[in-house]
Structure 1
Amino acid sequence: MNTYETNFNKNLGALEEYNTILADKIEDVKTNKRFEVFAGENTFDINIYDHELKQNLYDNPEKFFDEKYNEIYSKYERYPVLFFYGLGNGLLYKALLKNENHKSIIVFEPNIEILYIVFHLIDFSQELKDKRLYVVETNDFDMDDVINFLMGELFVRNYLYDSKILSLNSYYNQHKTHIEELEKKLNEKIMYVFNAQGSNRITTLSQDLRFSIENTPKMLTKALFKDFINQRKGKNKTAIIVASGPSLIKQLPLLKEIQNKATIISADGSYSMLAKYNIKPDIVMSLDPSELTSKFFDNDFKEFDKDINFIITAPTHPDTIKYLEKNHRNYLLVLRPSSKFTHKILINDFGTLGGLNVAYMGYELAVKLEHKNIILIGQDLAFDEKGNSHPMEFLYGKDFDNNIPVLEKRIKTTAYGGKGEVITHQGWKYYIQSYELYIKETAKNNITTYNATEGGARIEGTIEKPFKELCDELLKEDKIIFPFLQSLPKKEQILLAKQNYDYFLELIKFAKSKIYQCQKLLKPILKVIEQTRYHIDLNTIDFVKILKTNDEIHKVKEFLEDEKMAVFSDQLAAALTLTELELAKISLMSAHSQEDKKIRMIIWLIKHEEWLKLVIETLESQTKIMEKSIQSLKDFIEENNEHL
């Protein structure tokens, strides 16, 4: 076996470990018909001729290598991730990957034959195995896989904001439009993650923490979510998720006919509309902890509510519980995923449901209940042709989303059916992306998701079919009806409340010790800021102390990884998002002289004044919320002390 065959086999073997489909496609290329390789005497003198375009990939391979390598080194030396369009002869990437700062180089290549050629020419097996070279065939790949690798496995989220895909050279400029489309798609996915974790969530997370603690005593007196799942898991085959988009009303006559043949899971906003049409849902979901959402339950439907289970997230607004209890509805509280640390003692029994919107929460429940068919109706996630966001029967009116200032920005997205586009807003776009990611995962478990909305936006991964066809095809038998469940004995409720109360006291004490540590570290940083207020005189700066302070900052960042700090992780991530982005930009600054490196170090240190103040502010606000909210647990324990 010659060197070329050895390289090829080693490269394919490494690629197969995480992308067997692409490895198989490369292996299936029997000969390179379109491209021809010309190798000179020098290692870097390798050119590839495109017979179809009658063009070389390089005018001068050696000159290109020198110029491009120096350009990338001078601009992007410290970048952990680089994106390129075009593999070329591969030599540039072999050289660039000797720089350990580059954790991965993502290369989009439009021609499978180029991959075939380069896999013969160069041994990339170790780089491919470690995913430091991550090759993608542009005609057949999943951007979510790339994002999951970068933000999950590689964990370089803060370095991806506003990412650019660099065209390797002028040969690949013919794909300029495709490069722009890929770059847009890449950044849309990245922005989805940033917005899901960004600073706009700070208020919501604080409110979640407050209400989830205050509502814990109520949760303890209700049935366990774990028991609810076990009671129903795998018993009914089909679930229908009823959202409150403008197309919902046209589906209700048929839903009324088949209501006994599928599990009907209703969003809170759809609940009163179903009651009006006398369609009894099995489950009504509520996610948003706002007072507006509470009003969905400020009504009395009397006998209609019998046999309905209301599943409400624990951080719900107190008025929601007030209205549910006022009208004698059967409800249980379920934790949000963000409660996995604040309520870790309760998480196994009371479970979690999440998502960005309530219909997604219903979809997640349907998955947990192991429905094999999940049908979406009323899930438009777009304005209808008249500009309405909801049906006329919706509690807050047909144009509710038109009256929310933060949702004023309109964007276009692919329409249901794939023909043309519809108008949506950024919030709904995030919901669509969230659905698409989850539906892709559920498909691996043989769950089929149908979109029978027959209007609105397309949700990739769903099978779009008319509601009537799905009912005729899937709904053959009556569903099973389940009795209500009992709650834990009072003694167990009190013991759990006490354990949770003690846990919060421990967290508060720990957080206060870390606040003091951060405050102490601010002093040397403020001194440097004072020294550099008007200009930077490097001769007056004590860089030994700066290095020592940087080490202390590193220790602070290490304690943020402590298991006890996990309870504050979501809030800290949200608070620090923009500052972390700025720090990432500073760390990427090229510095080839000692003077430039010192300046970068000073800028890095000064930016940490803001970072530390945000950490202090966040921990202080969280501990104050905890100190105030755990009074409800203390009261519950004292009121029921006789049961211990």
Structure 2
Amino acid sequence: MNILEKNIQALASGTNEPLALKLSNFLKDSQCVRFSLDEKLNIFDFKNQVFMYSDVEQEITYFQKAILEKTLRYPFVCIYGICNALLVKNLISSYKHIFIFESEIELFYLALSIVDLSEELRSGKVYLIDTNEEKINIQLSILFDQKDMFEYLSLYEMFINCSYYEKYFIDEIKKIDYIINDNIYLVIRNLDPESKISLSCHDNFIQNIPLMLKNIPFQRIIQERKNQFENCIVVCAGPSLEKQIPLLKKYQENFVIFCADGAFSLLYKNDIIPDYVLNIDFEEYPLEFFKDINKEKLISTLFILGQYTHPSVSNLLNQKNLSICVVLNQNQDNIIMLNDFGYLEIGTHVGHMCYTLALALGFKNIVIMGQDLAYNEKGNSHFSDFTLGKDFDNTLNIPSLKTLAYGGEGEVLTHIAWDDYRKKLEFLFANNTQANFYNATEGGARIAFAKELSFKECCLKFKDKKKKSLEIPKLLTSNRSDKILKKVLEHLKKDLNIINQALEDAKILKDALEKILLSGKELPFEFLMSVYKNIEKFNSYLEFNSVFYDGILKGVFYFRGEGISKVLSAKIKDEREYLFLSIKVYKDWLVLLIEKLNIRKESLQKII
């Protein structure tokens, strides 16, 4: 196997399968027409009639030194241009991750024919990003959200491989720089370390566990109902919804209907009975959506609640004797005893959960309505009869912006939360090509990777014969439910013990760091180094225990990285000074960590 084949195989192993496929096709069907390689590993650009390097060795050495000086101790670096990949190879030992951005498939081909990067590509140490990749936003959002990346995103800066790129690819560099910054903003926007949302959600989950065990297991719904139907409608609460109600009522028997909680009251009032009603809100206000409903009309409806649904909401629905299922969020709070209940990608908005549930149930055609993700021409965020007010989002003081309108012509006014949500939906739709998504909202913002079709056309195209009624899945026996709860409590006790140990160690370490920092002495390098090793040891303890990396403390860990990044960006060459400032930053972070761990401890104690 030659070098190029090894590199392509490494890319295909998971780090960048689309680029591997693109290179394989290029290898079969094309020849280099714009670039050629000489015996000194210099590359000639036929279009601009110029070599990339004036002197290969000299220029690589210059840029290597310049990048290293500007990124002293950085965990990662971003470079535009792969060139002959020699610079990349020289920099590998200096970073945890190197991101290489390139627009020319021929240059990827030439570089990967010269330098064996297969080990680094396979491990994720080196990432190659094709800037012409259609799903580049999805790719970047995954890469930047890695555990060892998101903390340090404030250090991002784009460097160039050689002066050739600055001269001939400046527009491309500016374009990708904008895309990267947009994706970084998307990753870190919701990582406020002072936010109480993630800990409130965890508290809700802990309180919902007994209710979950006494109601329908999610896995039974999937087992009994998967692939029963092909076509469904997801109903959201945007301002465009009410104009579609007459048509939805006419065709309700021909589709399975998934309903976001906010849209439920409008459907219920118009005698449209959804098959699934979903809620994920961690606050109590959805109580208003459900207070006046009765069991008789909803005998066949399943209420699917996210694990973070506020206990007041889940308890209300339970008291009304409705059919309830509490769903665990995929990859979070993974308690082994609950695996049989099944997991679902809940997302951050209820609509997202509707789509993932439809996918999990095997629907092939998913029609979307009321998913405006924008204000209408009157400035309303929801339909006129929305329980919390048609202008509900106007009261939230969320920064607004403009985005491409439905239909692709003109712009509509949205806000950053909706814009984030739209991008996450595009990610979801792009990665689930087994289903077709039809946006029949007929208003609001355009959503990429969803086909736009009027609701009337969707009804005529995808209507099924009258849908058959499905039995409500059975509950667990009381005996089995109690046994599982007992095991869950044992697991949570172990989590509590780990958190208590972390709290004890964090307090001891914080007190020690405070004394060191207050000593006012010119502390020797060797002493500071030993202190720093204790910090690394505590970090290892946190990383070793998955209870700290389930997403609940993500904003807290971002705060740690942000503090360290400020020290790194100062580019302090003196090792003693660097260690002293790092210790100071870490001490401040421990104060926040202790506060948040105490809150989490209190949540666990409620159920234990």
Displacement of 1:141 in angstroms is 5.2
SS of match in other structure, 1:259:
helix
Distance 2:364 2:4 in 1: 42
Distance 2:141 2:293 in 1: 47
- Structure 2: gaps of 5 or more residues: none
Give aligned-pair identity as a percent. 28
544, 562, 571: which is aligned to 2:552?
Answer: 571
1:226 aligned to 2:238? no
SS of match in other structure, 1:391:
coil
Displacement of 1:381 in angstroms is 1.0
> 1:265 corresponds to which residue?
258
Distance 1:37 1:567 in 2: 50
Q: Which TM-score applies when normalising by structure 2?
A: 0.90
RMSD: 3.0
Distance 1:490 1:410, change over 3 A: same
Displacement of 1:132 in angstroms is 4.3
1:310 aligned to 2:287? no
Q: How does 1:146-157 map to 2 (within 5 A)?
A: 146-149=140-143, 151-152=145-146, 155-157=148-150
187, 190, 199: which is aligned to 1:193?
Answer: 187
* Code of the aligned partner of 1:23: L
> 1:635 corresponds to which residue?
none
| Runs of 4+ displaced beyond 6 Å | none
Distance 1:242 1:63, change over 3 A: same
> 1:582 corresponds to which residue?
563
Contact 2:60-2:162 at 8 Å conserved across structures? no
130, 154, 161: which is aligned to 1:168?
Answer: 161
Contact 2:344-2:357 at 8 Å conserved across structures? no
1:145 aligned to 2:139? yes
SS of match in other structure, 1:215:
helix
Distance 1:119 1:494 in 2: 58
> 2:70 corresponds to which residue?
75
> 1:21 corresponds to which residue?
21
Aligned length: 602
Contact 1:338-1:570 at 8 Å conserved across structures? no
Contact 1:29-1:116 at 8 Å conserved across structures? no
Contact 1:243-1:378 at 8 Å conserved across structures? yes
Displacement of 1:335 in angstroms is 3.3
Q: How does 1:33-432 map to 2 (within 5 A)?
A: 33-35=33-35, 47-59=42-54, 61=56, 63-97=58-92, 100-122=93-115, 124=117, 127-128=120-121, 130=123, 132-140=125-133, 142-143=135-136, 144-149=138-143, 151-152=145-146, 155-161=148-154, 163-173=156-166, 174-199=168-193, 202-300=195-293, 303-321=296-314, 323-325=316-318, 327-337=320-330, 340-341=333-334, 344-349=336-341, 351-352=343-344, 354-405=346-397, 407=398, 409-432=399-422
Displacement of 1:227 in angstroms is 1.8
Distance 1:47 1:366, change over 3 A: same
Displacement of 1:126 in angstroms is 5.0
Distance 1:450 1:336 in 2: 25
Displacement of 1:314 in angstroms is 3.9
Distance 1:286 1:114, change over 3 A: closer
Contact 2:230-2:364 at 8 Å conserved across structures? yes
Contact 1:294-1:317 at 8 Å conserved across structures? no
> 1:488 corresponds to which residue?
476
Displacement of 1:212 in angstroms is 2.6
* Residue range with higher mean Cα deviation, 577-586 or 229-238: 577-586
Distance 2:299 2:5 in 1: 66
Distance 1:329 1:135, change over 3 A: closer
SS of match in other structure, 1:190:
helix
Displacement of 1:475 in angstroms is 1.8
* Residue range with higher mean Cα deviation, 115-124 or 172-181: 115-124
* Code of the aligned partner of 2:607: I
Q: How does 1:539-558 map to 2 (within 5 A)?
A: 540-558=522-540
SS of match in other structure, 1:83:
strand
Deviations 1:348-402 (A, max 9, x none): 2364552111111111211221112222111111112222211112112221111
Contact 1:521-1:549 at 8 Å conserved across structures? no
- Structure 1: gaps of 5 or more residues: 632-644
1:453 aligned to 2:441? yes
Q: Whose radius of gyration is greater, 1 or 2?
A: 1
> 2:607 corresponds to which residue?
630
Distance 1:242 1:384 in 2: 17
Q: Which TM-score applies when normalising by structure 1?
A: 0.85
Contact 2:198-2:553 at 8 Å conserved across structures? no
Distance 1:346 1:139, change over 3 A: closer
Distance 1:327 1:347 in 2: 28
Contact 2:155-2:569 at 8 Å conserved across structures? no
